[in-house]
Amino acid sequence: MVGKLAGVAVALAAGFVLPAYAASIETLFGPYMSPGTEIAASTEANFSGLVTPRWTTWETPNWTGAIKPETEADLQNIVKIAKANNISFLATNGGHGAGICYGTISGIDINLSNFNSVSIDVANNELTIGAGVKIGDIIQPLYDAGKAVPHGNTDCVGMIGATLGAGIGIGTGIYGLGIDSLKSVRLVTASGDLVTASRTSHPELFWAIRGAGANFGIVASAKFQLQDQVNNGNVVRGAYTFPGSANRSVFELYKSFDDFIPPELSLQLGISYSRATGTSQIALTYFYFGPLSGVQPYLDAAAALGPTTNSTSILTQPALYNSLQNGECTIGSPISGGTLGLGKTDVPTLQAVFAELVAFNVANPTTYVGQSVFQRYDNKLTLQTPSYETVYPWRDIKTFWLHLNFYLSPALEEPAANLTKSMRAKLQATSGFATPHVYVNYAYGDEGPAAWWSLKNLPKLVVLKALWDPKKLFGKANPVSGC
């Protein structure tokens, strides 16, 4: 191991840089990797074993090869060799990142899935996970330990990837943002060094990690503060569907949570068009991290609006998240999307975007299915962390709007993107925010760094980027300088 590291140093010091055409990726990286590391060029038959299709086939990176390393030292050497040879790369885990900047990437996929360790230290209330851990990997162990961390809703999404943008989910109201429970990361930086970033070690880097993390290196592992699990790990799910014609009353009900929502409660308001019935429809789902009696009055208010279907269940957290992964873990479909943060609900605007979405579905009867979801997560706890603590700026978002286009014909890619942007513009006009508040992990990609990290934070972020990653090796999916 020592010999290999020294070898890299000698090779780099001597300016030993192979022109890309003369060196296979195996020749270039292989000698400096631990024995279990797998390497393949995209032209080789075994490449597909290292890189599976991403969640979406929309705007995907053009991989020239893949490396699946085993150790932190491998990650360090990959960064050093790639930099010396001007080879670009992207480290990937869950493969759920999407947006137009991904389509501009060409280079090597660094498959992080070997870094799959999950360690719970109950005595110190800490969770330590590796870069390859998916959200679904921590749910059962945490449940068994009676502990909790904030995390996203979908099992197959990368836990660190989601956290580096902020980390939101149905538990946000009760457990806070992922970044607010993050204690430290071990980060492979552009120099190939392995540094610890925390509130006390490189605190400014840690500020930038918490919201723009993918721009500063490869997080090899992350340590989270554990909280006690609430309500014995049980969650109430109340699910209602309504005919689209009930839009006004359902949207008014959703709006009634603008001023107050209990921290234990979150809402998902889905608008879509059913091909089966040829009608517009609305789905309103409640998740409550508490006893049924606490949420019953809220459920009754939905039931009073005359749902087409209704169901109430009390689920353990593992059972709940297992039910939520349905469909969202399917990979390899053409799906584009967009997002916006809202500070208030405007019922006429929701009606207008619903009408626009339904009209687009009707106009494209065989090639398109689109849906939007409005996620209402309580932000009282989120607002308790001062805004200067993290580069993630949008603690004032009450609703995360997430739009998804499932388009079966390539000809619909541009019209569907235009639909997304048109709906987004309507929502922005009544969002309650003068400038767009965009959650970077849901971004379409054209919003730009000020919308992802705020105009106020950009100068400091740009300085830190120039300091830690001057050659812009990292963060190509949502670059500090835009794409």
Ligand X SMILES: Cc1cc2nc3c(=O)[nH]c(=O)nc-3n(C[C@H](O)[C@H](O)[C@H](O)COP(=O)(O)OP(=O)(O)OC[C@H]3O[C@@H](n4cnc5c(N)ncnc54)[C@H](O)[C@@H]3O)c2cc1C
Per the rule left: phi > 0, alpha: psi between -120 and 50, beta: everything else, 301 is alpha
Which residue among 51, 148, 342, 397 contacts ligand NAG (CB under 6 A)? 51
Work out what residue 62 binds among ligand X, ligand NAG, none; the CB cut-off runs from 5 to 8 Å by kind.
Answer: ligand NAG
Q: Which of 28, 32, 51, 55 binds ligand X (CB under 6 A)?
A: 55
Tell me which residues in 19-38 interact with ligand NAG (CB under 6 A).
Answer: 26, 38
Residue type, 406: F
Q: How far is the CB of 141 from ligand NAG (least distance, A)?
A: 21
Query: Across-strand partners of 401?
Result: 340, 374
Residue 415 contact among ligand NAG, ligand X, none, beta carbon within 5 to 8 Å by kind? ligand NAG
Under 8 Å between Cβ of 335 and 404? yes
26 φ/ψ angles, rounded to the nearest 5 degrees: -65, -45
C-beta of residue 149 within 8 angstroms of C-beta of residue 127: yes
Out of 37, 77, 92, 382, point to the residue binding ligand X (CB under 6 A): 92
Q: What single DSSP character describes residue 456? A: T
Smallest gap from residue 416 Cβ to ligand NAG (A): 9
How far is Cα 406 from Cα 253, in angstroms, rounded to an integer?
Answer: 28
Stretch of 38-46, 86-94, 242-250, 338-346 contacting ligand X, by CB under 6 A: 86-94
| Stretch of 139-147, 170-178, 289-297, 352-360 contacting ligand NAG, by CB under 6 A | 352-360
CB of 472 to ligand NAG, least distance (A): 11
**Does residue number 97 form part of the binding site for ligand X (CB under 6 A)?**
yes
Given candidates 61, 65, 95, 263, which one binds ligand X under the rule CB under 6 A? 95
Interaction between residue 192 and ligand X (CB under 6 A): no
154 scored as a contact of ligand X (CB under 6 A): yes
Give the one entry of ligand NAG, ligand X, none that residue 55 binds, where binding means its C-beta sits below a cut-off of 5 to 8 angstroms depending on kind: ligand X
Contact stretch for ligand NAG (CB under 6 A) within 61-69, 141-149, 215-223, 395-403: 61-69
Q: Which stretch binds ligand X (CB under 6 A): 11-19, 149-157, 260-268, 301-309?
A: 149-157
Partner that binds at residue 161, options ligand NAG, ligand X, none, CB closer than 5 to 8 Å by kind: ligand X
Q: Does 407 contact ligand NAG by CB under 6 A?
A: no
Angle at the Cα of 454 from the Cα atoms of 448 and 456, rounded to 5 degrees:
130
Q: Among residues 227, 238, 244, which one has the least CA distance to residue 171?
A: 227
Rounded Cα gap, residues 26 and 48, in angstroms: 16
List 69, 161, 341, 449, residue binding ligand X (CB under 6 A):
161
Task: State which residue, 343 or 415, has the beta carbon closest to ligand NAG.
Answer: 415
Q: Does 43 bind ligand NAG (CB under 6 A)?
A: no
Residue 402 · residue 373 · CB < 8 Å:
yes
Measuring CA to CA, which residue among 392, 394, 393, 399 is closest to residue 378? 399
Start-to-end CA span in the chain (Å): 37
Asked if residue 190 binds ligand NAG (CB under 6 A), the reply is no
448 touches, from ligand X, ligand NAG, none (C-beta below 5 to 8 Å by class):
none
**Residues near ligand NAG (CB under 6 A), total:** 34
Nearest to 197 by CA among 214, 209, 181, 211: 209
What is the CB-side half-sphere exposure of residue 13 using CA atoms within 13 A?
A: 6
Of the candidate spans 172-180, 363-371, 412-420, 458-466, the one that interacts with ligand NAG by CB under 6 A turns out to be 412-420
Count the neighbouring beta carbons within 10 Å of the beta carbon of residue 82.
21
| Dist. CA 234–CA 296, nearest whole Å | 15
CA dihedral 276, 277, 279, 283 (to 10 degrees): -70
Q: Does 92 bind ligand NAG (CB under 6 A)?
A: yes
Binders of ligand X among residues 400 to 459 (CB under 6 A) are 441-442
Binding segment toward ligand NAG, per CB under 6 A, in 50-58, 254-262, 367-375, 433-441: 50-58
Which parts of 321-340 interact with ligand X (CB under 6 A)?
Answer: 328
Residues of this chain, 267-306, that bind ligand NAG according to CB under 6 A: 280, 303
Burial label, 348 (beta-carbon count in 10 A; 0-12, 13-18, 19+) = exposed
How are beta strands 89-92 and 62-68 bridged, if at all? unpaired
Beta strands of 149-216 (E only): which ranges? 182-188, 194-198
CB-based burial label for 80 (10 Å; 0-12, 13-18, 19+): buried
Nearest to 25 by CA among 115, 89, 92: 89
Binding-site member from 65, 150, 152, 445 for ligand X (CB under 6 A)? 152
From the list ligand X, ligand NAG, none, partner contacted by residue 91 (C-beta under 5 to 8 A by kind): ligand X
Structure-token pair, residue 46: 């075994």
352 lies in the site for ligand NAG, by CB under 6 A: no
Strands 106-111 and 62-68: parallel
Interface residues with ligand X (CB under 6 A)?
55, 90-98, 112, 131, 152-154, 157-158, 160-162, 164-165, 167-169, 213-214, 218-219, 328, 441-442, 477
Interface residues with ligand NAG (CB under 6 A)?
26, 38-40, 44, 46, 49-52, 62, 64, 68, 86, 92, 95, 106, 111, 113, 244-245, 247-248, 280, 303, 307, 310, 351, 354-355, 358, 414-415, 418
